[in-house]
Structure 1
């Protein structure tokens, strides 16, 4: 039997760079670029969607603002068109924040944008549920009062204008 004598000089492990390592690194970089591009496209789409929501809310409000006064908006401070414009502006601001975060490769900004968009989504679901559960009673309470006083010429003109413009 031989006796094993360890050598006094230790050799450092040699890192061999292989073609497999290069392929894995290139594949990872490609995946990262693809994810970044998808984030940029999604956030840019959300910016456009937020802008469209904001413009839609403003245009509906400007077109039907006389009807909001007719329906008694003194009791109704937040109309659906104002709410749509507000949510659209918040969506646009948050999406711009996410676009800048994905452009600058900031994980914090992208995560904060995703969290805020999730909260905004749940807020929209709650608003829709509340709107559909209470809107019927509010509409009838606003319409019953003007119909009872239809003999007033000013109210009569407003009701006739409402019927003419909404039916077209």
Structure 2
């Protein structure tokens, strides 16, 4: 899967993206609400190779896509099928420097349209750490609805956290 928006190219990762992607994930604030800790020099190649391998969306494999502005990778989109028929979950991470410029909204809104139109998915959902207000706002900006708030349901990084589920159907697109 590869596509463009007005300002961005969204494509599978390339080996040459390692430095840009490391700069995204070598940041405590960026990784604060993710399921993994920040990357370091010891694990960066192993972690990045997983993204390189995830180059096609199938029922068995996740897809990771680079969000590129000019020539720099500023974000990472993840898509995977859930156990429910024709349902995918999405995740996204953007660099601090991309924050506040509308890139995430531009990339994720185009991604959901593509998933509905080309992959014919029935439902798209996002599960987030409830403390991640920026991610909640992004979901709402692209037309997702908050469907659930679970209290202390997820054990991550040595603490119980609340999680929120956002969902969207084709009929929810503007």
- TM-score normalised per structure 1: 0.24
Structure with the largest fraction of strand: 2
Structure with the largest fraction of helix: 1
Larger radius of gyration: 1
- TM-score normalised per structure 2: 0.24
